[in-house]
Structure 1
Amino acid sequence: MLDKSRIRLMTRAAIYEKNRAEEDLKISSYYKKDYASLHTWITLVWVTIGYICAAGLVVFCYSDSLLEDLNFAKLFVIAAVAIGAYLVLIVIYGVCASGFYKKKHNQAKQRVKKYYRDLSRLGKMYMKEKK
């Protein structure tokens, strides 16, 4: 005889396995701090690469106006602004990325817990049926 609750659990587990299980199991295999730290560092590396590319493009596009009347004070101000903007960008991205990846880890962990809970319920239903 068909049991509606068992069919619902099996369907929910199958949908989860098809859509999100692989990624969630990978994410939840890390500790939250390790996962967030690793992905935050990766984000900061890519932000640094993007900033260097953007700064190089700006310098290349405005090289004529930058080289006119170039003296040490003007060079110092340009370098200070570039470094200051970089530091502000890194801090903002670091804080946002850390929060994002912590939240992503929590959500994945909750989905995996629910999945395992559903599997244990299914196991109990099958054991009960065998008796």
Structure 2
Amino acid sequence: MDEKKIILMSKLAIEEKTYLKNDEKITSYYPEDYVYMNNFKTRCLVVLLVGIGCIGHIFMRIRLGLTFPTTVQEVFSDYIIPYGGTVILVAWIYTILSTCVYKKRYTQANKRISNYRKTLRELEEYEVDKSKGGNGVCN
């Protein structure tokens, strides 16, 4: 084996070990599907966590002696509107952030897969050229 072949094979092995499995999983989806699927998970988790925080805050307010509302209008004005608005606002902000993050992850994974395939083609061309009796120099 010569030095060029060892270098190409080492590059491929490093990529396979570090990124390839996860990148193939990511790029097996269309970009929009990957972003949507992960945004959905993010939204669900954020709504759950903020909802738990809001419920905890409501119980804390009740424990501190604030009266529990007696009418539906009081429930809406004291709890549903302020806490619902908070949940919606936080979910909206996290949706925007996660869209940016997951688009970037998809782009990076796609780029690494492309580089891996390019290196693989370069190795194949090198081996074909070498087997034909060439000097092993690839363009």
TM, length-normalised to structure 1: 0.89
Are the structure 2 counterparts of residues 69 and 14 from structure 1 closer, same or farther at C-alpha, using a change threshold of 3 Å? closer
Equivalent pairs counted in the alignment come to: 130
Matched residue, 1:108:
109
Bigger Rg, which one: 2
Structure 2 residues not aligned, in runs of 5+: 133-139
Structure-2 residue corresponding to 1:53:
52
Q: Is the 8 A contact 2:12 2:120 kept in 1?
A: yes
Greater share of residues in helix: 1
Q: What is the rounded CA distance, in whole Å, between the counterparts of 1:70 and 1:109 in structure 2? A: 54
Shift of residue 21, structure 1, vs aligned partner: 0.7
How far apart in 1 are the matches of 2:128 and 2:65?
A: 77
Percent identical among aligned pairs is 25
TM-score, length of structure 2 as denominator length: 0.84
Gaps of 5+ in 1: none
Structure 2 counterpart of 1:130, one-letter code:
S
Counterpart secondary structure, 1:68: coil
**How far off its partner does 1:128 sit?**
1.0
Q: CA RMSD in A?
A: 1.8
Report the alpha carbon displacement of residue 6 of structure 1 after superposing the two structures with TM.
Answer: 2.2
**Superposition map of 1:14-33 within 5 A:** 14-33=13-32
